Amino acid sequence: MNSEERNVWGSEDVSSGKDAGDENFPVGSLLISRRLRPHVHAYYDFARVIDDIVDTDRLDADAKITRLNAMEDVVLGKRMAPQRPDAQTAVRVGRTLTQTGVSTDTATDLIVAFRQDAVKNRYDTWEELEEYCRYSANPVGRFLLQLHGEDAGTFGPSDALCTALQIINHLQDCADDLRNLDRCYLPRPWLEREGVSVDDLRRGHTLPGMRRVFNALLDRVDELNRHAALLPGLIRDRRMRMEAAVIVGLSRRLAQRLRVEDPIARRVKLSRMDVARALAGAMRTLV
């Protein structure tokens, strides 16, 4: 690698080492056909690496954006990647997109969101948050649907589900995101309206005003989940229909847990019973 390329890629792999087991929801689960699972894992690995690039404290904002731009160029076939694990995820996802015909924006839109994360750490409106989710979360659902040959009629409910999942994740990680990344996705005017501030996320427990902000966001999540409930009925592929139904069920259950548990005091997680009930509910989509 010459000096110019070294400036672009940096000298180190910043991958966090997280894998699918660190996620709330199944990634490339057994419900996905064996034939398609490698493509799902290639996409997930790429998404994890670009997320790690923007979250690392070893790069400044400019260096993060430079490396994200290089990853995008590799996906689009405009640049060669060094023989390094993080960069090679872009090679593999580019190959997956070429082989399957899934649109490239399912990968490059993620980079749009992460470039934003490199320079933006506060949000002022729900609309700003939705726009962020349009790029950070919705492409994941569209990738899976296109991979399974589903049509564009599934995209609306899928977008609703993915946005709901992203907001849920923001609520789960609100204290950690502020502490580790100085990043907060909660709309600031909503906090001000309830007499609390971003700094109240550092207290170790949820104040009543902060709970009202969380519940207001969960009200929006509930609306999104109601729209997302249409998704399984629109999917033709039986395995993908089951996968979607499980995730819709898990999204609802995690939103319910966030209503009654304190995400600042501890990470709110799904229980085994939550998963079992979501699976049982999803079985009804197959009859």
Mind listing the pLDDT tens digit for each residue in 182-207? 999 999 999 999 999 999 999 999 99
- Please give the Cα distance from 39 to 255 (Å, whole number): 29
Give SS3 for 257. Answer: helix
Instruction: For residue 123, list its beta bridge partners.
Output: 187
Q: What is the pLDDT of residue 207?
A: 98
What mean pLDDT do residues 124-140 have? 97
Non-local CB neighbours of 215 within 8 Å, separated by 6+ positions: 259
**Closest by CA position to 90, among listed 104, 103, 102:** 104
Q: What is the DSSP letter of 19?
A: -
Alpha helices (H) in 148-229, listed in sequence order: 155-172, 174-181, 188-193, 208-228
What mean pLDDT do residues 6-35 have? 66
Residue 27 has pLDDT above 80, yes or no: no
- Residue identified by tokens 């997302």 is 228
Whether the pTM exceeds 0.85: the reply is: yes
CA contacts within 13 A on the Cβ side of 78: 7
Residue 22 has pLDDT above 60, yes or no: no
Residue 5 has pLDDT above 70, yes or no: no
Q: What is the pLDDT of residue 73?
A: 97
- Please give the Cα distance from 135 to 163 (Å, whole number): 10
Which two three-digit tokens encode residue 5?
A: 């390329």
Query: Could you tell me the domains of the chain?
Result: 1-8+33-119 (no CATH), 120-287 (1.10.600.10)
- First-last CA distance in the chain: 56
**Percent of the chain clearing pLDDT 70 (strictly above):** 90
- Please give the Cα distance from 126 to 190 (Å, whole number): 9
- Residue identified by tokens 């199944």 is 26
- Please give the Cα distance from 240 to 130 (Å, whole number): 25
Work out the pLDDT band at 21, boundaries 50, 70, 90: very low
CA angle (128 as vertex; 220, 261 as ends), nearest 5: 40
What mean pLDDT do residues 50-60 have? 95
Which two three-digit tokens encode residue 104?
A: 């490239």
- Please give the Cα distance from 202 to 52 (Å, whole number): 23
Work out the pLDDT band at 18, boundaries 50, 70, 90: low
- Residue identified by tokens 């609520």 is 171
The answer to whether 244 and 227 have CB atoms below 8 angstroms apart is no
Q: Which residue has the higher pLDDT, 27 or 256?
A: 256
